[in-house]
């Protein structure tokens, strides 16, 4: 794997704002309510007995980077971030592999 990886002990945080998600010194796993706009391929998953990629408004758990990519590409809007786990980010986890 290449890119930022979560390392260390997770810290739970309430009241997460977009500024915190954008901080590249952390990797986030968050529970959020999102609005997925109609499109060819809905970008973020929802697990409810099975894995699906719906359009509309729903609440689920997301990797922060994937959620931000969907927002940047105009495919999704964050309605609310309910909370999440923050990990320190490391670029060199598999450097020697």
The predicted pLDDT at position 97 comes to 56
The predicted pLDDT at position 14 comes to 92
**Mean pLDDT across 75-95:** 87
**Mean pLDDT across 69-89:** 92
The predicted pLDDT at position 57 comes to 94
What is the CATH number assigned to the segment(s) 5-90? 3.30.1770.10
The predicted pLDDT at position 51 comes to 86
In this predicted model, what pLDDT tens digit does every residue of 4-58 receive, in sequence order? Answer: 788 889 999 998 988 998 898 999 999 999 999 887 777 888 888 888 888 899 9
CA gyration radius, the chain: 14
Phi, psi at 71, each rounded to 5°? -70, -45
The predicted pLDDT at position 50 comes to 86
The pLDDT confidence band at residue 2, using thresholds 50, 70 and 90, is low
């Amino acid at each position: 794997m290449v890119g930022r990886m979560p390392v260390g002990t997770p810290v739970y945080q309430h009241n997460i704002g977009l500024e915190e998600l954008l901080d590249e010194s952390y990797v986030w796993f968050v529970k959020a309510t999102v609005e997925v706009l109609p499109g060819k391929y809905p970008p973020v998953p929802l697990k409810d007995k099975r894995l699906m990629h719906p359009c509309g408004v729903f609440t689920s758990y997301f990797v922060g980077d994937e959620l931000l990519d969907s927002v940047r590409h105009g495919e999704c809007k964050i309605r609310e971030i309910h909370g999440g786990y923050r990990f320190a980010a490391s670029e060199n986890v598999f450097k020697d592999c």
